[in-house]
Structure 1
Amino acid sequence: MIEITNIHKSFGDNLVLDGIDATFEPGKVSLIIGGSGSGKSTLLKCIVGLHQPNEGKVFFDGQEFTRMDFEEKVPIRKEIGMLFQNSALFDSMTVEQNLIFTLDMFTEMSKSEKIDRANFCLERVNLAGKNKLFPSELSGGMKKRVGIARAIAMSPKYLFCDEPNSGLDPATSILIDELIQDLTEEYNSTTIVVTHDMNSVMGIGAYILFLFKGQKYWEGSNQDMLKSDNKELNEFVFASPLMKAARDTMKR
């Protein structure tokens, strides 16, 4: 479980996050949604420790992450898997080398054990046999799956995904969503996904946190969202005809 309380973050005079509270439960996919500039990615970076909040606390299973020094954070960071928006693969490394890089940093595995783990993770994301390819030889969807394979290499207790469907076609986006859902259940991970993809919201949104101008304006499940009368949430979510149709169907 991850809990955040009263998170504030400013960059100079620009207040980006204004007192965010939320609880993210294990075994569920939690989504952070909101318009551009609402603070979604900044909040994610505050949770994982890439940004230090100006005020507020982040707890990983009751441990106050924000008060820890670098060395104290290492055990928790070993339990974190992160999928970045652009996959963040090393172009000069093969797929296999990209996965083993994480294992080199955080484990004492032998070389053969690392290769076995890399093979297992690639099989898990349906990329068996792609070990020796370089990122330049992969499609966008394959890069995302390699990124997910690397994120789960350490059997993460906490899984973070920043815009995992960015730049992907609808069919591939659904496959990525299903994979994230399956892995969350398999590892009982506390999974947090930043997204603007409404298909993801409706498909895997067990818990949704909606940010508006740096504040928490709404929280609930995707089914709760369809029945919400929150003005700002409705203007954001139901901007597309598809989402309007889904809401109208629910109300019948």
Structure 2
Amino acid sequence: MIEIKDINKTFGDKHVLKGISAIFNQGMSNLIIGGSGSGKTTLLKCIVGLHEPEKGEVLYSNQNFTTMDFEERIPIRKEIGMLFQNSALFDSMTVEENIIFPLNLFTAMSKAEKVDRANYCLERVNLKGTNKLFPAELSGGMKKRVGIARAITMQPKYLFCDEPNSGLDPKTSIVIDELIKDITDENNITTVVVTHDMNSVMGIGDNILFLHNGEKWWQGTNNEIAHTDNPELNSFVFASKFMRAAKEKL
């Protein structure tokens, strides 16, 4: 479980996050949604320590991450897997080398053990046999899956995904969503996903945090979101013709 308390973040005179508190539950797909500029990616970066909030606390399983120094944070960081928006693969490395990279940094595993772990992770994301390919030889969806394989190579307790469906077609997006959901359920990890994709929200949103103008505006499940009377949330959720049609059927 991850708990955030009264998170505030400013950049210059811009107050980006305004006292946000929430709980992200273990074994659930916890989604952070909101319009452009709502603060969702900034919040994610505060949670993982890429930004430091001016006020507030981030707790990993009741451990106060915010007050820890660099050395104290290392054990928690070893338990974090991260899927970046653009996959962030190293172009000069093969698929296998990309997946092994965190193992080289944080473990004393043998070369054979690392390769075994890479093979397991590749099989888990349905990319068996792609070890020696380079990122330039992969489709966008394959890069995302390699990114997920690298994110889970350390068997994380916490998985963070920043816009995992960005740039993907709807069919591939569903594959990525289902993969994230399955990995979360199988390993009982705490998964936090930043997304603007309403198909993801309705498909895997166990716990959804909606941000509006840097504030926590609503929190609930994907079943509850379809029946909300919150005008800002309704405007965001049902902005597309597809989602408006879905609401009319409810």
TM-score class normalised by the smaller sequence: over 0.9
Aligned to 2:162: 162
Secondary structure, counterpart of 2:159 in structure 1: strand
Secondary structure, counterpart of 2:66 in structure 1: helix
Secondary structure, counterpart of 2:141 in structure 1: helix
Aligned to 1:212: 212
Secondary structure, counterpart of 2:209 in structure 1: strand
Provide the rounded CA distance (Å) in 1 between the counterparts of 2:130 and 2:23: 38
* Alignment partner of 1:90 is 2:90: yes
Aligned to 1:48: 48
Provide the rounded CA distance (Å) in 2 between the counterparts of 1:220 and 1:244: 20
CA deviation map 1:156-215 (0-9, x unaligned): 100000000000000000000000000001111100000000100000001110000000
What pairs up with 1:11-160 in 2 under 5 angstroms?
11-160=11-160
CA deviation map 1:135-157 (0-9, x unaligned): 00000000000000000001110
Aligned to 2:188: 188
Provide the rounded CA distance (Å) in 2 between the counterparts of 1:94 and 1:193: 26
Secondary structure, counterpart of 1:161 in structure 2: strand
CA apart distance, 1:245: 2.1
CA deviation map 1:120-142 (0-9, x unaligned): 00000000000000000000000
* Alignment partner of 1:5 is 2:12: no
Q: Which AA in structure 2 matches 1:42? A: T
Secondary structure, counterpart of 1:66 in structure 2: coil
Provide the rounded CA distance (Å) in 1 between the counterparts of 2:18 and 2:247: 30
Provide the rounded CA distance (Å) in 2 between the counterparts of 1:221 and 1:163: 19
Q: Which AA in structure 1 matches 2:205? A: G
Provide the rounded CA distance (Å) in 1 between the counterparts of 2:107 and 2:183: 21
CA deviation map 1:20-62 (0-9, x unaligned): 0100001100100000000010000000000000100000000
Secondary structure, counterpart of 1:92 in structure 2: coil
In structure 1, stretches of 5+ residues that fail to align are none
Provide the rounded CA distance (Å) in 1 between the counterparts of 2:39 and 2:211: 7
Provide the rounded CA distance (Å) in 1 between the counterparts of 2:114 and 2:122: 12
Q: Once structures 1 and 2 are overlaid, which stretch shifts more, 138-147 or 237-246? A: 237-246
Q: Which AA in structure 1 matches 2:171? A: A
Provide the rounded CA distance (Å) in 2 between the counterparts of 1:11 and 1:198: 29
Secondary structure, counterpart of 2:145 in structure 1: helix
Provide the rounded CA distance (Å) in 2 between the counterparts of 1:50 and 1:187: 25
Q: Which AA in structure 2 matches 1:133? A: L
CA apart distance, 1:248: 2.3
CA apart distance, 1:246: 2.0
Secondary structure, counterpart of 1:196 in structure 2: coil
Aligned-pair identity (%): 71
CA apart distance, 1:222: 0.8
Secondary structure, counterpart of 1:177 in structure 2: helix
Provide the rounded CA distance (Å) in 1 between the counterparts of 2:34 and 2:107: 37
Relative to the length of structure 1, the TM-score reads 0.98
Q: Give RMSD over aligned pairs.
A: 0.5
